[in-house]
A and B are shown apart, each in its own frame.
Chain A
Amino acid sequence: MSSFGFGLITAAVLAIATVGFTMQFAVTNVLNLAYGSIMINSAFVAYYANVHGVTAWASLPFGVVTGAVASWALNRFVFTPFQRRNLAPITVVIVALGVDLIGTFGLQAIVGGSYVSYRQNTGHEYHILGMFLSGLQLIILAICAVVLVTIHWLLRYTRLGKAMRATSANPNLARNSGVKTQFIISTTWLISGALCGLAGVVFAMNNGVFEATSAQLYIVLLLAAMFLGGPGEPYGAMFGAMVIGLSTEVSAAYVNPQYKEVIAFVALLGMLTFRPYGIFGSEKTL
């Protein structure tokens, strides 16, 4: 039961990250493989705020802003210029991969290779439904719930959210309806980047200790969760994150936890073989 509790928190963190990731992919058409490096960079910015006297939770907005600004800038100054040249989509994927390596090891060059942790205590231990959850873990669950409800509300009920979905489905027709798709895409980078930064900080908090390369393989979990739920499906992303989060942690009770990503990857391969558009997805449906 304790691995289930662990799995639940892992899944919550992954859900926050995947919702941002899948939204980015659906609206902007960029498979941003640098997502993990932006997560960890955001975590470090929050960490330095924390070290300089800001409480851990108050440092969270620093991470969120870092994620938003970095993602926006990455699109504005790297992806967009490459996309303009009408290169094959694979080029942008390779560029993203390069950015990920630069982002991760550039960070390592700056902060060094040692493990750090936020100055934060994990709070009281609660015994709920047979699981032992710390105060920190409960807060992560609450953040996840708030994020999912907010994104649901944004996409379903707001003008911006509907314009994002329209841009994702048919950009030409969206423009012809008066939607400023470039603006919508930039806004999507900001919002999904904010989720990326948020995910980075809670990921680091949940890990307890972390270093520059801690999120390096996280992209595998993200891809698995996204494809499981269907690319561009925010609800699918939540579902995919639950499945991947729980299965990797629960299986870690039986096999070496180092193989977490391998298990996610096997799930991803199975998924791509049998249901390439995920459980809920049909190609790309934000």
Chain B
Amino acid sequence: MYIQDEKVVILENGPTGNYFKLIFECHGALTRALPGQFINIRISGEREAFPLLRRPFSIARMLSSTNKKSKRIEVLYSVLQIGTKLLSLKRKGDFLYVLGPLGHSFPLPEKNEETIIVSGGIGIAPLIFLFESLDPQIKLSIFLGAKTKREIVHRDVFKRKNLNLQIATEDGTLGTKGYVTAILSRYLEAHRTTRSILYACGPRAMLKALDGICDQWGLRGYFSWEEKMACGIGICLTCACPVKTANEGTNMVRCCTEGPIFETSKIDWDYFV
């Protein structure tokens, strides 16, 4: 897959709920990005080195542009430390260097496979792009989880016929009070499905719980994995993810290159114990 470091122009960058939304116009390889792939954004200027490393972000939406040959990419991010703080200060018209598209995309559901999407907090980002790329005919359930109402963004995007959309917030300000995994479990108990695929992104603890749920109900689970990344392009090995080998051993693979989408049954969860 072709990767480019494209200088892009910011069209929009501002708060949405508790998060930030960044939209920029791109022309090259980025326009061919697939759901689940990510980009590595250089937040420092061209000749500057602060912050030193790029920051990885999922592609939250791929929007059309007024120019037929270009696309608009939307990134949803939470402002945490220095990198995301500086990113949040960028204004319309500013430039950014964006490296991508990087990593593997989500595999699409097979025919007649029921599809389940589960997000936790900002983990919603790659799942919006996935939702918008799915065949509108398939049977689909979406479970959005967050700490509070202001972390449930883009609810209006999840619209289509026969969509089962459920929300859980930890403080109960929106939807059911509690964890998203609880409403998912309840749904599965009521609607035992035979063939389902589950896509998820969110905090590690949520993914761990979802791994148990996938195992219990025999679901194929695909998670968007996060690990600290120095390069994003497969040359530094900082972003290792433990996966099971055929002979029950462990192998460390690169989240940026072999991932960030991993099948949960392949992840060696015991490694983290």
Q: Do A and B bind each other?
A: no
Using a CB–CB distance below 8 Å, which chain B residues touch chain A?
none
